[in-house]
Every structure is written in C-alpha cells, then in structure tokens.
Structure 1
Amino acid sequence: MSNCRTSMSVTMASTRPKRPGKLSMLILLGLFLLFFGTIKINCATLPDNSTDVLWLQAFRNEISSAPSGWFNSWNSSSNHCVWPGVRCSQLHPGRVVALELSGLNLVGPISSSIGNLTFLRTLNLSRNSFSGQLPPLIHLQKLQVLDLSMNQLHDSFPYAIVNCSKLRIINLSKNFLVGEIPPQIGLMSNLSVLFLSWNNLTGVIPPTLGNITTIDRLGVAYNNLTGSIPDELGKLQNMLRLGLGANMLSGGFPEGLLNRSNSLQYLALQSNMLNSKLPPNIGNGLPKVGELYLYDNMFEGQIPASLGNISGLQRLELQGNSLTGEITTSLGNLQYLYYLNLEKNNLEANGSEFFNALANCRSLESLFLADNQLQGAIPNTIGNLSITNLVQLSLAGNKFSGTGNIPIQVGSLTGLFVLDLSSNKLTGEIPDTLAKCQSIVTIQMAQNFLVGTIPKILGMLQSLSMLNLSHNYFSGAIPEDLERLQLRQLDLSYNHLQGEIPKNGIFGNSTAVSLQGNWGLCGGDIDLPTCTAASWKRKAGYYLIRVLIPVFGLLSLALVIYLLLLIKRTPKRECLSMHSFGENFLKISYKDLAEATSDFSESNLVGRGSHGTVYRGKLKEAKLEVAVKVFDLDMRGAEKSFLSECEALRSIQHRNLLPIIRACSTVDYTGSVFKALLYEYMPNGNLDTWLHYKGDGKTPKHLGFSQRLSLAVNIADALDYLHHDCGRPTIHCDVKPSNILLNDDMNALLGDFGIASFYVDSSSTSTGSTTITSSVGVKGTIGYIAPEYAGGARKASTSGDVYSFGIVLLEMMTGKRPTDPMFKDETNIVNFVDNNFPREIYHVLDTRLTEECKDFAHAKTVSEG
C-alpha cells in the first residue's frame, strides 16, 4: 500500500487548486473519494512481486509435521527469498524460481497454492511423507525440474503435466500413483529424464515415448504394466538407462533396442514374463551396456555367445529363467565383469573349460551358479579364480560329485567372504587349505555326503559368522576350537557326531545352534542327555528311544518338507511335444527276444503284472542280460500301458530310474502284434523280496537300517526328479516295493511306468499339488493308492506319489505290508504307527531293526563306561 499512497499523494498534489471555492471544494472532495476508492481497488488486483510469499505461507500452513525449528524463519520479519529451501529470480525480484525441500520428513498434503508460483523452474519435495493428491501444475509453464519422488501421494498420473512443455526432469517414483501413463506424454519434446518406478501404474508402455528424442533415462519399473515392450523405444538414440523391470510385460526380448540403442549403458527387464530365446546378436546390439538385468523371466535356449563381445559389461544377471545348454566360455572375455548370476536355470558346464575362462575376468567378485545342472567333480581349476577379486561363490543345488575331497585349490580363494557348496553330492573331507580363507564369513556345505571329522582349522577362521555342515556324515567330536569364533549361526544337525558338546562361545546360545539328529552327542544347554555314567538297562532304553524317534521323525519331516516343496514348486515349462517311441529307442526283432528267453519259457519267468509278463533273458550279440517285459495286448489298457511307459522314459534319465534299453514293436511268428520292453536285469530283485519272507523260507540277507535309509533316499531322489527336474513333470502312479529294483551295488531304481501320467496343462493345477492328466486313467495298487483316488478323483497328482512313497517308508521300517491281515476295520499301517509314536515306537519296528538298535545302544553304553 505504500506505492498506492505515494501515487495517490502525487495525484492529489497535481490536481489541488490554489484558491478553491466552496463548490469547487465539494467537487474536489467527491473526486478525491472516487479516485481513492479506484486506487484502492486497483491496488488489490494488480500483480505484485510480493504475492509469492502468500503462496509459500499457504503451502507451509498445510504441513502438519516438520523438523523442529525448520520453518521458524518462514515469517514476515524476513524476506521470503532468503527462507531455507527458497530461491528467487534475479531478473524478477521476489518471484520464486525454486522450492527445494528434500529429505525433511515433511508430513501433510501438498498445498494447491504451489500451482500459483508461476515463475517456478524447480520443484523438489522428494524424500518426504507428503500424501494426498498431486498439486495442480497446469500454470507452471516455466517448470523444468519436478521431483516428488519417495512420498505417499495417491493420485493418477497428471495429464495436465504435458502442458509444462519445458520440463526436462520428471521424477514421481516411489509413490502410490495409479492409472495409465497417458500417450500425450510423447508431446513433451524437452524431456530427458522420466522416472515413474515403484507405483501402481497399469496399462501399457505408451509407444509415443519413442517420439521424445531427447530422453536419455527412462524408468517405469515396479508397476503393473502389461503388454509387450514397444519397438518404438528403439528410436531413442540418446537412451543411456532403461528400467522396465518388475512389471507384467510379455513377449520376447525387445529386439528394437538392438537397432539404434547403441548408447544404452543400463538395461533392466527383470521380473517380467518375457519369453522365447535371447537374440543371438544381443551382445553386438548393446555394445556399451555396463549392467544387464534379465533375471526372473521365462527366457529359454542357450546363453548367447555374443554377450562376450560387450567389453564394458560389469554386471550380468540371468538367474531364474529356463536357460539350457552349456554356459558359454565367451563370458571369460569380460575383463570388467564383477558380478555374474546364472542361478536357477538348467545350465551345464563342459568340464573345467568354463572355470578356466572365468579366470580371465580379473574384476570378478561374485559368482552365483546355484540350482543348475552342473555335474561331475568341482574342477581343480576353480583355484584359478584366485587371480580375480572373488568374494562370493555359490555352487549350491547342482549335481557336483567326486571321488575325493572338495578341491584343495579352494584354499587359493583367499578373498572369499561367502562359500556355498550345499545340496550337491560331494564326498570326502573338508580340505585343510580352507584355513587360508581368513576373510570368509559364511560357509555352507549342507546336504552332501561329506565324511570325516569336522576339521579344527575352521576354528582359525576368525571372521566366520555362519557355518552350516548339516545333513552330512561327519563323525567324531565337535571341535572345541569353534568356541573361539564369533559365530552367529551354527548348524551341525543330522550327522554322526559324538561326545560332549562344548559349553562356551556360541554353544551357550541354544537358539543359534542346531545339533539335532546326532545320536551320540551329550551335555550342553539343549535337550540332550547328560554325559554321566548310567546303568546299561537305563541307557539301552534311552538310546533305543533316541534312535527310533529320530528315524521316524526324519522320515516324517522328509515327507512334510517334500509335500510343501511339491505345493510351492511349479514346472518351469510345459512338456515337450510327444514323439513316437520309435524315434528314441533302438528296435529289436521278435526272433532275438525269443532266442534270449528260450521261447519265453517258464524257467525264465520273473514275474507277472497287470498288463504282461516279465522274463529273464540274454541277448547273444550284445552279451547283455536283460529283463523282457512282454505286453498281453488282449488285456484292456495294455497297448496304452506300453505307449505310456515308452513316453514316460522317452527323454528322462536318472541314476535311480530303471531305463529302457530297447523297445520292440513288431509281429510274432503267427503274424500277431507283439510289443515288449527291454530293461537291464537287476540280479538283486526288488525291494519287496528283501523286506518280506517267502513261503519257501528262501530270503536274502535282510536290510539293515542304513541300507533302508539309503534306499529311501534313492527313491526320494527319483520322485523329486520326475516331479520337478526332468523337463516334463511325470507321475509314476504305482510306487510300491515290487516296483523298486536293486542293482549290484544295492542302489534302488524305480521301474514300471506302465500307468505313469504326464503334465498336460497348467490350468489343471489344484491347490496342494500339481495335477496331471493320465492317458490310461488313475490306477495303482491297493494299500498304496492315495485316499483321494479311492474317493473318486479322476486326475493323478504328485501328492499321490508322495502318499505312496510314505506308505513304502512305513513298510520299510515296520516290515509289514499295508495289506497285512492285522490291518482291518479302522486300523491301517498309518494309524498303527501313529498310535505308537513316539514312546512305544519299538513295538511297531521291524524286529530285525529292533535288534540292531539294541546292539547299538549296548555298544554305546559299553563305550561310555
């Protein structure tokens, strides 16, 4: 108003007469009042540089929480242009051009008054707790930078934002925005950065984004976007970083990006539903990419060798896909690669070549190859990775095996922080050279076949925080050297450890130590017997219970875990299309089989089944002893059973599955159709003959507990492979002892796939199991059939095999068939065991195992004095 008063005074001075009369005085007074009112009204509506302060104060008034004292200076006693977070124009005094209040944990709505700061060029309210709707932006024609990221804004994407044509940077990530990204966004010709990640946006990625030739960073990850990735994005020649991960995008890899996007340095397409094969020229089309994230999709086929041409690639993540074949050795060309993750695929490695190639990756720090199909011995050349900066190595969940120790060369990896070799089939002892890895924090070697004592050298690893050696065959005492370590977690469960448990260090924290399943341990703060002498009778009874309860507990736990995995795991892909068995199996003539079995004489008869007869024979040319399964084609379902078994074993191979050597589909001497399958002859017969006495008194040497447990593991491995890892999920449908064959080494092989079932459609998945449609109907053997089948279920399921396997386990431990005459009325083998578990469990145990357990308890008592 000071300006108003000044102009009014000047006007009055210029219009005042020197000698006014009475009339003229009245006229002048009227004019004065009229003029004053006009001036006052005009003053209230004319633009004023000081009005921005009013909009700032309105913005401040709606903030409900702020750091103590932050807004104290936002008052009329100081010029608003010096308020914290406020910057004004030098050409237009008083006009606010920037409001930057990032990371102050401000709470409340963003006042609509912000939309009146028409000179605003930068609005940065990121990393706060603003909620509600976005402020109106339509009048902010000068706005160049808009950053409202990391707040709690609930609104749809502001369509009016396209009117802010000078915007260069838009960052609305990490809010709760909904709705679609408007196609009109393609009109924002000056935009260089668009970040909309971590919201709830839906719809498709607008192809019009390809019109913004100035854009160099685009991020819309972690939303609910669908559809394919537009080829138009390939037009963005200046694109440096593109993040589209964690949506529901489908289709193949966007090959349009390979055409012109040679500037790309960062590409993230992870956690979508992208499928098909990766382009063979991906490495040539993205020559400048430093980080490539393609994990958790459905990509198939081999890893393209051209990836080795991306000379500057530093991080490559392909885990969680369906990639197959050998890992390309071209990855060894990547001099700057520091992080490589290929976990959870179906990849293989050709001997030591791949590890040799990786030795050239001098920057490699993290190598993750877990949950693939790597097999054979871990190559000694793994020690060559020592010339890199390797700190993390995970080879877990593969099929690594060996006839000796873990390679001693692992000790060369002195910079390791994490070593994970769990869930393989490694044998031998832990090498003492591991003591050289003084930086190691985590060691995981669970679920192997490691033996010997736990080496004392582990007590020398002062940085060790987590040690897991569970589910192996370690024996002897727990080294007291482990007491000195600052361990946070120690798992030595399910081994053969003996003696007194140490008392100090981590052993004083029972919640951090797992030692169950070691029958010879005593003492400590956990629920184990004290290490004092006792009478033989008392100790014998104690150890008998302690032996038997873990036996059945272990088997029960295995079933529960397996069933849970069965519920959660889903096949990575559908089965391959069916081919005739003749394309996959060598054929043999009827004459050859007749000669091999002495014209199918009774003297060579091995057994009879529901669809045919099995004979023992010897092929003259191959000098091979075989079992010949001849199908009775007059029996209903025999033809389908023949085809079913051929198809089931067409493309699967596992050490615990009885493979078909040859298939024969021809005519006999009379011209009748003849179909037979040839298997390797198993001289030790089947599990049924070992578990139960025969009427003639001829019984093979009985199976001890360790043998029975080993056979159970064999069958569990076979079923796990059939259900999850064979490429086409298969259900056996008739798991029982007579279908479990024993080879020369007393290893179990699951046979007879005559009524096996195959995965057909993911839509048939039911809660609790993977549901499979059978080509011959749901069948099985009484006593082993799952209850849901008896109740009228028409579809086979993996849980049905699990139930049958459970019955077999109980039969192996009790020595009683599920059809034993003692099981009648409401009693069956399941509740028979359950009613006696745990304290009276020895009443249901096979008598030969009871004697074995008593002998163990007696020997244990004697050894302890």
Structure 2
Amino acid sequence: MRSMRLFLLLAFIALIMLLETYGFTVETDRQALLEFKSQVSEDGRVVLSSWNHSFPVCNWKGVTCGRKHKRVTGLALGRLQLGGVITPSIGNLSFLISLNISENSFVGHIPHELGNLFRLKHLDMSSNVLEGGIPASLYNCSRLQTLELYKNHLGGGVDSELGSLTKLVTLYLAGNKLRGKLPASLGNLTSLINVSFKDNNMEGEIPDEIGKLTQMESLDLALNNFSGVFPPAIYNLSSLEGLSISGSGFSGNLRSDIGNLLSNLRELYMGVNYFTGALPPTLSNISTLQILATEYNSLTGNIPLSFGKVRNLQVLSFLGNSLGSHSAGDLEFLGALTNCTQLQQLDVGGNRLGGDLPTSIANLSTNLKYLILSRNHISGSIPHDIGNLLSLQILSFKGNMLTGPLPNSLGKLSDLGILSLYSNRMSGEIPFSIGNITHLGKLYLYENSFEGIIPPSLGNCRYLQEIDVALNKMNGFIPQEIMKISPLSYLSIQNNSFSGSLPNDVGQLQSLVILSVAHNKLSGKLPQSLGKCLPLEVLYLRGNSFDGEVPDIRRLVGLRIVDLSNNKLSGSIPGYLANFSSLEYLNLSINSFEGRVPTEGKFKNATIVSVYGNKDLCGGIKELKLKPCLAQAPALRTKHSTRVKKIVIGVSVGIALLLLLFIAFASLCWFRRRKKNQLINNPAPSTLGAFHQTISCGDLRNATDGFSSSNLIGSGSFGTVFKALLPTANKVVAVKVLNLQRRGAMKSFLAECESLKDIRHRNLVKLLTACSSIDFQGNQFRALIYEFMPNGSLDMWLHPEEVEEIHRPSRTLTLLERLNISIDVASVLDYLHVRCHEPIAHCDLKPSNVLLDDDLTARVSDFGLARLLLKFDQESFLNQLSSAGVRGTIGYAAPEYGVGGQPSIHGDVYSFGVLILEMFTGKRPTNELFGGNFTLHSFTKSALPERVLDIADKSILHSGLRVGFPIAECLTLVLDVGLRCCEESPTNRLATSEAIKELISIKERFFKARRTTRR
C-alpha cells in the first residue's frame, strides 16, 4: 500500500513535468517569441519570417532548444539589423541560458522582467540604442557569467548589488553614460577575467577592493572622470595582460617598480592623464610587453635605452609629454630600439627631444609602419638610407629644425601614405623619386626652404588627396600631371615663385575642395574648366597677375571663401555670386573690375564682401561707398530724323561741356598751385583741437626716408604704417598714412581722432598727434602719429610662421604672458565701455590690433571703426564716423553685425572671446579647419575639459612650465572664459568686468601652482 502511494506520487510528478515540458510552457515560449517579433520594426520582421505557426519553435531562425525538453535555451539574433523595442515577454523564456541581440538598433529600456531568467548565463545586448539604467532585477540572475551591455545609452549608476553576480567572468559596460563611483562590491567578483567600463562618466577613486580580482587579465577604465593617483589596487593584479586607463583623470608619479609588479602585461595604455615624473625603467623588464602608450601626460626625463631589450615591442607612443632636455643625448634610445624587430609604431612627437637625427634611425625594424618624431627640437638631416624602412605608412618629422635635402631613397617607400615634414628648415629640390611612392595620400612640405619645381613624377601618385608645398622658394610651372590626380582635394602652393598659368586641366580635379595658389607669379586667364570643380569650397588666388574675366563658376555653389584680390582681373562681377548660400568671404579688391556691383544676396553684407581698388566699379550697397552708376540712356528711336536730331543735340551739348570743363580745370590748377605754395611748409592745423603738436607732410616724409619700404611696419584696411624718427623730439614713432583713395579712409581718420583725443589708459596705444596737410603733388594728406611699439603686434607672436624672418619674434609667448595680455585687453575694454567719459565700442578687436611694448604689455590700437555710443544729440556726426558700415573683421566680428546689428559693447566682448580662444589654441577663427557650423568656438567647446591639451597651442606646452604644473586645468579655465565671451546671443556674453575678475583669479592660481611645483 505504501509503495503504491509512492508510485502514484512519482507518476503525478512526472505528469506535471511532462505537462510543463510539452504543454503550457512550450506554448508560452512560442507566444513570448511571437510577442517579441511583434515589437520588432517592420524591416526586421522579414528576417524573422520563419517565426510562424508553420514551423516548430526550435526551427525558428536564431532559436536553440534543449535536447530533451525542447524548451528555448538560446536566442542568437545579433547583427540582423533588427529594430524596435524589447518586449517584457522575453522574461517568460524561463529556460533561457543565452540571449544575444547585439549590434542591432533596439531602443527603449531593458525590461526588468529579464530578472526572471534565473538560468541565464550569457547576456549580450551590446551595440544598440538602449537607454535608462541597468535594471536592479538583473542582479537576480545569479548564474550570469557574461554581461555585455556596451555601446548603448544606459545611464544612472552601478549598483552595489552588482557584487552578487559572483560567477561573472566577463563584464563589458563600456560606451554608455554611466556615472557615479565604482562600487566596492566589485571585489566580490573574484571570477572576473575581462572588465570594461570604458567611455562613461564614472568618477571618484578606484576602490581598493579591485585588488582582490587576482584572476583579472583585461581591465579597461579609459575615458572616464576618475581622480587620484594611479590606482594602488591595480599594482596587485599581477595576472593583468591588458590595462587601459587612458583619458581618465589620474595623476601623480608612477611607481618605479610597476614593471616588476605587472610583469605579464602585453598592452598598457595610460595616455591623456596627468602623470608626472620619469618613465619607470622597470617597464622595460616586462618581457611580454607589446604596446606601451603614455601619450599626452607630463612625463619628464630621458627615454630609457633599456626599451631596446623588449624584443616583442610593437607600439611605443610617448606623444605629447616633456621627455628630453633639448640636448644631444636625447635620441640615443633610437639606436637601442633597432633591436626591437617587431616594432610597428614609434611616436615620440610633441616632446623636448633635441640633438641631431641619428643615422641609426634607418636601421629600425623593417616592420615599422608609423615613425613620428614631430614637434621636437631635432636638428640634422634625414639619413640617406631612410628608404630601408620599407613598410612605412606614416613618416612625420614636422615642426623640428631639420636641414638638408629630401633623400632620393624616399622613393623606395611605396606604401607610404603620409609624408609630413612641414615647419623645418629643409632645402634643396624635391627629388623626382617621390613619384615612386605610389600609395602617397598626403604630402606636407610647407614652411621650409625647398627650391626648384614640383616634380611632374608626382602625377604617378594616384592616391594623393592633399598637397601642401606653401611657404617655400619653389618656382617653375604647375605641372599638368598633377591635374590628373582625381582624388586630390587640397592643393596649396601659395607663397612661392611659381609662374605661368593655372593649367587648363584643373577642371579634371573633380574632388578638389581647397585650391590655394596665392602670392606667386602666376598670370594669364583663369581656365574655364575651373567651373567643373564642383566640390570647391576655398578658392584662394590673391597676389598674382591673373587677367581677363572671371570664368563661369556658377555651378560652384559650395564656395565659402573666394579671394581673387591683387590681380589684374577685369570685366563685370558675376551676379550669380550673390546667390551662393555658403559664401562667407568674397575679396575682389585691387583688380580692374568694372560696371555695377550687385546689391542682392551676399552683396547686401559689406562685412563679407570687399571690392575696393577697382576704380571702374559703381553702385552696390551704400556701405561699399562706390560711385553711383549713371542711368542707362533710353534706346534710340528707329526713325532717321529722330536719330539725327539727337546726334546734333548731343554734339552741341558735348562741345559746351568740354568748354566748361576746360575752364574749370584751368581754374582748379591755378587754385591748387596757390594752395600748395601756402600749405606745403605751413600745413593746415588739425581740425581736432586736442592735438597741439603740429607736424607737416614734409617732416613725416623726411622722418620715414621718403616713406621707404625699409621703414614699413605693416598695412591695414585704410592705410600703411611706417616707423619714423622725429629729429626734433629725438623720438621713434609709428606713422599711419591714410590711403585716401580707399573708400571710408577719411571717415576712419575722423573716427580715430574723435575716439582717442580725450581718452587715456595704460593699455591704449597713445595717439601723439595727427597731420592734415597737402602732399608734394597737391593731394590731400592725412596721417596719425602714435607711440612706437617695439614688439610689434600680438598677431605676429601668435603666428610667427606667417611673418618674414627678419621681423619674426625670437621666442614664443609663455602661458603667463598670454594671461597678462588677456587681462590687459579686458582692462582697456572695461575702460572704454564703462569707465570712459563716453562709452566707446572699438568694433575691430583682433590680434593685429593689439600691440606689445618693451615688457610685452598689451596696447589696443586702430580705432578706425570705433563708434561713440549713447550720444543721441550727435547722431548725424556718428553716422559720418561709421567706416563704410564695416563693423569688424571676419571671424572676429559678432554674428549680430552680419545681420545689420548696431555696434555695441557686446560686439567687442565677442571679439575678445575669439581673441582668447586664438591666443591659447594658436588657431585663427578663419583657419581652413573651420567651416559651416564647425567654428573655433565649437572646436574649443567640444574639447573641454578632457582634450584641452590636444587643442592647446603646442608652444605653450613647451615654454618652461615646471613638472607638476596643472596646465590642463589652467587652460580649461581660460578657454571657458573665452567661450562665455563669444556666446552667440549678446545678452549671454560675459561682462568685461567679470572676465577681468576671472582672468585675475586664474593668474593667482597660476602663481600658487608655480610656487607649489618649485617646492
């Protein structure tokens, strides 16, 4: 009886299990999957077409079932281009062990019903668009071994309950928006082998409990906001083979025994942090090391020669540190690395390495693909045997002091894609063998002293995308062969001595975006085929002798910058240019254009259009100040009598007019001779009584040696500036001679006199006097005399590569000097805007208008566009002072000026913000890098704070800052001030008084940090 009961009980249990297996729960799986399919986007359902009642569930695509009970145990739907949301019914697949929906486009939240899958071991939802947090219920899946949720939009923190998943082997949460601290409970996951929290917003210090994960082989904490020193707990993880903590905010020195403690490392990434001190020599004790990358830190000292014994080394990157001492022994490590036969990438750019480039560099591994020694202080020449490095793909020695020619053996490097040697002192001719580098994509040789021609053999480089040989001493014709390189998108040969014409085949360059041939000796007519370069955005042809009419380029609607100035072009201005929506700058000045200037479209904006120096132009908007066009005469009637009648009348009127003109001309000549005799030695006094000292045109002529080019300092929109010695006062001054042929020059003269006559500030260039006279030809003469600034303009200090060598500063500006200059400029703006007797808007603040005195104190100059504000009773006078309606310079002018906004202090603040960004990034707002919505402002904003060192002017990073100085923090604070000053909305911009306070506060931090590092 008892055994019968036991039998019945077992039979009942078996029946229940049978029903569960083949009854309700199998159907439950089917319904759960059909519900999942119903939430998939329509395109994705086609992929899941087998999911229907015609097929057993276990035969559906991506479905795996158990052998005995036929329940769904696996769902593999990765890379099927599925979209939609994940239905909560997924939690009904109670036998599920593995779920993979990676690399799809699922959106929405992770359903908390996943927590019901207590058998789940492998969960992969990576590379989708999931958001929200990691559901707490997921931590109920205690059998999980693999949890991969990387590359989603998951936010929130990481709960301490994560520590309950004690069987986890792989944890990948990278590429999300997770924040908060890493939980100490991670230390409970002692089975972990692979962990990645890369690219999140995690913060705080790494918990010591991480040190318990002694089986860990791969740990990736890169691209977060952690703090503190190199995590001490990581030194305990001796089993680590891969460690990445790049861009995570760590600081301090590395332990000297790191190589002994982490002796199994194969890959070590520590770049973009704040590490200081020397490279630990024990790193070379890691015999398994293949990749060592410590770029963009503040490491100092020498690169150890012992790295030469790490035979498996493949990648060595010390980019952007302060390694070396500008001395001859800095490059000895290169000889040692010749033992590393597996080396593929060597990058030591942006350091302080000095000495001559050793010939041993040609003996490095033949597997070497990247060789980068750029932005150091390396001298000497490139070894003749550089062609031994047959696998090279990138060769960059830019920004050094290399001399000598390009070796012929470069032609052996057929796989070379990038050759970057710009900003050196190299000379000689470009060898014809360069045409053998058939995979060459980018050739940067600008700013050297190369001579001779561009080798026609360069046409063999069919993959060339960019050629830049600007700022050299090259000559000859532009080779026709280059015009056949179809991928070419960037061609710059400006500032050389090329002659001949622009090749007719230029239209074959169907990928050309930037064409810059300015400041050469090119001539002839521009080819009609230029209009076939449809992607063209920048056309820079100024400073040549091109003649004839502008070819038909109406199809080049993407043009942003067009500069045809200083040529001999003629004909009418193409009216279709008015409709180029992308056009940001059009300079047609100093040519022989004639006829009517359009008034519609882009020609409505005088800040982006320049047409001065074309004497036969007329019309245009009033701000261009051109002569009016004569009304067109009505068409002649066809009747013979009417035509004869008009001819007779016309001839009679013409004779009368000629007679009157002759009389007027004779009277004018008599008057001029009389006036000349009166004024040549006794000039008319200034109309502005504030200037008591008088000076004549003759005095200025003598003081400048006849306005000799040897005394030329510079030129601006309305005049030319000369250095002069006034013998009567035994004083050196700067004389700005106005070009009165330039429209608006007289009004600029009046504006400057009116603005500066009664104001005084230590950071203003002092206007000593003005000259209003008649020159020796009887023409009006106007000049302004200022105190002389021996250190020139801020512009030449920020961009010395654009200055003639004789005027080039001997060094670069330090961080402190730039801070001081920004404070000086802000102080004078605050004075002009608020503390002056009457508010003044400068309207043209830019580096070329900021001058530097003996001790590099900034002096703001050039008030030719200044406007006196709030003087309603003098509105008509102020209108006269407006300089042709131009309110600044492209890139520096506030955006509201471009749509007719009136001058204001907010406009000056915007220009000041741009000035700060340029001072500390080293990039002009008109840099070719920028275009469309990508501006200097957005370029800077996108980099703060994590990548501030990437965008900073590199000369700041190597200008004597001590080890430990928080340069990244200082630069971030300064650039943030600049960003807030040049906000698009005027009302959102920082007041100058607030800017001064913040800049002074940053300066105080500078001194405090400097004192700390000195200790």
Q: Do these two structures clear the TM 0.5 threshold for a shared fold by scoring above it?
A: yes
Distance 1:500 1:85 in 2: 64
Deviation at 1:141, TM superposition (A): 1.1
Question: 2:50 corresponds to which letter in structure 1?
Answer: S
Between the two proteins, what is the percent identity of the paired residues?
32
1:380 equivalent to 2:359? Answer yes
Task: Tell me which residue corresponds to 1:57.
Answer: 34
- What TM-score do the two structures reach when normalised by structure 2? 0.52
Task: Tell me which residue corresponds to 2:334.
Answer: 355
Aligned mate of 1:395, from 362, 369, 373: 373
1:190 equivalent to 2:155? Answer no
Question: 2:377 corresponds to which letter in structure 1?
Answer: K
Task: Tell me which residue corresponds to 1:427.
Answer: 403
Question: 2:348 corresponds to which letter in structure 1?
Answer: L
Tell me, yes or no, if the aligned pair for 1:97 and 1:122 is still in contact at 8 Å: yes
CA deviation map 1:406-448 (0-9, x unaligned): 2223233222111111122222211222223232222111112
Deviation at 1:548, TM superposition (A): 8.0
Aligned mate of 1:412, from 365, 382, 388: 388
CA deviation map 1:735-770 (0-9, x unaligned): 975468xxxx978777999xx9948xxxxxxxxxx6
Question: 1:481 corresponds to which letter in structure 2?
Answer: S
Distance 1:778 1:691 in 2: 24
CA pair 197-493 structure 1, distance change in 2 beyond 3 A: same
CA pair 805-53 structure 1, distance change in 2 beyond 3 A: closer
SS at match of 1:218: strand
Structure 2: unaligned runs, 5 residues or longer: 1-15, 507-514, 526-541, 548-562, 568-585, 587-712, 715-721, 733-762, 766-786, 793-804, 837-844, 855-859, 868-876, 890-1015
Moved more, 272-281 or 428-437: 428-437
Higher relative contact order (CA 8 A, sep 6+): 1
Task: Tell me which residue corresponds to 2:415.
Answer: 439
Task: Tell me which residue corresponds to 1:630.
Answer: none
Deviation at 1:461, TM superposition (A): 2.0
Task: Note the 1:220-231 alignment, pairs <5 A.
Answer: 220-231=197-208
Tell me, yes or no, if the aligned pair for 1:246 and 1:269 is still in contact at 8 Å: yes
Task: Note the 1:9-20 alignment, pairs <5 A.
Answer: none
SS at match of 2:252: coil
Task: Tell me which residue corresponds to 2:90.
Answer: 114
Distance 1:751 1:174 in 2: 46
Moved more, 51-60 or 222-231: 51-60
Task: Note the 1:837-852 alignment, pairs <5 A.
Answer: none
Tell me, yes or no, if the aligned pair for 2:151 and 2:176 is still in contact at 8 Å: yes
Distance 1:491 1:199 in 2: 40
CA deviation map 1:267-287 (0-9, x unaligned): 111111111112211111111
Tell me, yes or no, if the aligned pair for 1:500 and 1:531 is still in contact at 8 Å: no
Question: 1:365 corresponds to which letter in structure 2?
Answer: Q
Task: Tell me which residue corresponds to 1:695.
Answer: 727
Tell me, yes or no, if the aligned pair for 1:786 and 1:803 is still in contact at 8 Å: no
1:371 equivalent to 2:350? Answer yes
Distance 2:422 2:118 in 1: 63
Task: Note the 1:564-643 alignment, pairs <5 A.
Answer: none
Moved more, 467-476 or 63-72: 63-72
CA pair 436-542 structure 1, distance change in 2 beyond 3 A: closer
Deviation at 1:520, TM superposition (A): 3.1
SS at match of 2:251: coil
SS at match of 1:225: strand
Distance 1:757 1:359 in 2: 38
Aligned mate of 1:503, from 480, 488, 510: 480
Distance 1:317 1:751 in 2: 31
Deviation at 1:290, TM superposition (A): 0.7
Tell me, yes or no, if the aligned pair for 2:132 and 2:154 is still in contact at 8 Å: yes
Task: Tell me which residue corresponds to 2:496.
Answer: 518
Task: Note the 1:314-325 alignment, pairs <5 A.
Answer: 314-325=290-301
Task: Tell me which residue corresponds to 2:188.
Answer: 211
Tell me, yes or no, if the aligned pair for 2:20 and 2:26 is still in contact at 8 Å: no
CA pair 496-807 structure 1, distance change in 2 beyond 3 A: farther
CA deviation map 1:113-153 (0-9, x unaligned): 11011111111111111111213122211111111111111
CA deviation map 1:679-708 (0-9, x unaligned): xxxxxxxx99x95346299999xxxxxxxx
Tell me, yes or no, if the aligned pair for 2:416 and 2:439 is still in contact at 8 Å: yes
1:475 equivalent to 2:454? Answer no
Tell me, yes or no, if the aligned pair for 1:173 and 1:199 is still in contact at 8 Å: yes
Aligned mate of 2:230, from 247, 253, 263: 253
CA deviation map 1:589-624 (0-9, x unaligned): xxxxxxxxxxxxxxxxxxxxxxxxxxxxxxxxxxxx
Task: Tell me which residue corresponds to 2:433.
Answer: 457
Aligned mate of 1:234, from 211, 233, 236: 211
Tell me, yes or no, if the aligned pair for 1:100 and 1:123 is still in contact at 8 Å: yes
Deviation at 1:248, TM superposition (A): 0.7
Tell me, yes or no, if the aligned pair for 2:459 and 2:485 is still in contact at 8 Å: no
1:484 equivalent to 2:474? Answer no
CA deviation map 1:655-676 (0-9, x unaligned): xxxxxxxxxxxxxxxxxxxxxx
Question: 2:491 corresponds to which letter in structure 1?
Answer: V
SS at match of 1:167: coil
Deviation at 1:197, TM superposition (A): 0.8
Task: Tell me which residue corresponds to 1:99.
Answer: 75
Task: Note the 1:773-784 alignment, pairs <5 A.
Answer: none
Tell me, yes or no, if the aligned pair for 2:205 and 2:228 is still in contact at 8 Å: yes
Distance 2:442 2:260 in 1: 42
For the pair shown, the structure with the greater C-alpha radius of gyration is 1
Tell me, yes or no, if the aligned pair for 2:543 and 2:565 is still in contact at 8 Å: no
CA pair 459-388 structure 1, distance change in 2 beyond 3 A: closer
SS at match of 1:427: coil
Question: 2:480 corresponds to which letter in structure 1?
Answer: K
1:175 equivalent to 2:152? Answer yes
CA pair 750-101 structure 1, distance change in 2 beyond 3 A: closer
Distance 1:739 1:44 in 2: 90
Distance 1:411 1:362 in 2: 17
Deviation at 1:215, TM superposition (A): 1.0
CA deviation map 1:261-316 (0-9, x unaligned): 11111111111111111221111111111111111111111111111111111111
Task: Tell me which residue corresponds to 1:327.
Answer: 303
Tell me, yes or no, if the aligned pair for 2:147 and 2:172 is still in contact at 8 Å: yes
CA pair 433-771 structure 1, distance change in 2 beyond 3 A: same
Tell me, yes or no, if the aligned pair for 2:461 and 2:485 is still in contact at 8 Å: no
Tell me, yes or no, if the aligned pair for 2:218 and 2:240 is still in contact at 8 Å: yes
CA deviation map 1:225-265 (0-9, x unaligned): 11111121111010011111111111110121112x11111
- What TM-score do the two structures reach when normalised by structure 1? 0.61
Tell me, yes or no, if the aligned pair for 1:87 and 1:97 is still in contact at 8 Å: yes
Task: Tell me which residue corresponds to 2:50.
Answer: 73
CA pair 738-488 structure 1, distance change in 2 beyond 3 A: closer
CA pair 64-738 structure 1, distance change in 2 beyond 3 A: closer
SS at match of 2:153: coil
Deviation at 1:338, TM superposition (A): 0.8
Tell me, yes or no, if the aligned pair for 2:523 and 2:544 is still in contact at 8 Å: no
CA pair 108-496 structure 1, distance change in 2 beyond 3 A: same
Task: Note the 1:720-759 alignment, pairs <5 A.
Answer: 737-738=789-790, 758=816
Task: Tell me which residue corresponds to 1:10.
Answer: none
CA deviation map 1:444-498 (0-9, x unaligned): 1111222222221212222222211112222222221212221222111222222
1:138 equivalent to 2:123? Answer no
Deviation at 1:499, TM superposition (A): 2.1
Deviation at 1:321, TM superposition (A): 1.2
CA deviation map 1:522-542 (0-9, x unaligned): 322466776669xxxxx9994
SS at match of 1:299: strand
Tell me, yes or no, if the aligned pair for 2:78 and 2:102 is still in contact at 8 Å: yes
SS at match of 1:257: helix
CA deviation map 1:190-242 (0-9, x unaligned): 11111111111111111110111111111111111111111211110100111
CA pair 322-521 structure 1, distance change in 2 beyond 3 A: farther
Structure 1: unaligned runs, 5 residues or longer: 1-38, 534-538, 554-686, 701-731, 760-769, 795-801, 812-816, 838-865
Question: 1:65 corresponds to which letter in structure 2?
Answer: E
Distance 2:790 2:35 in 1: 84
Moved more, 69-78 or 353-362: 69-78
Aligned length: 596
Note the aligned Cα RMSD (angstroms).
4.9
Distance 1:808 1:138 in 2: 68
Distance 2:543 2:153 in 1: 66
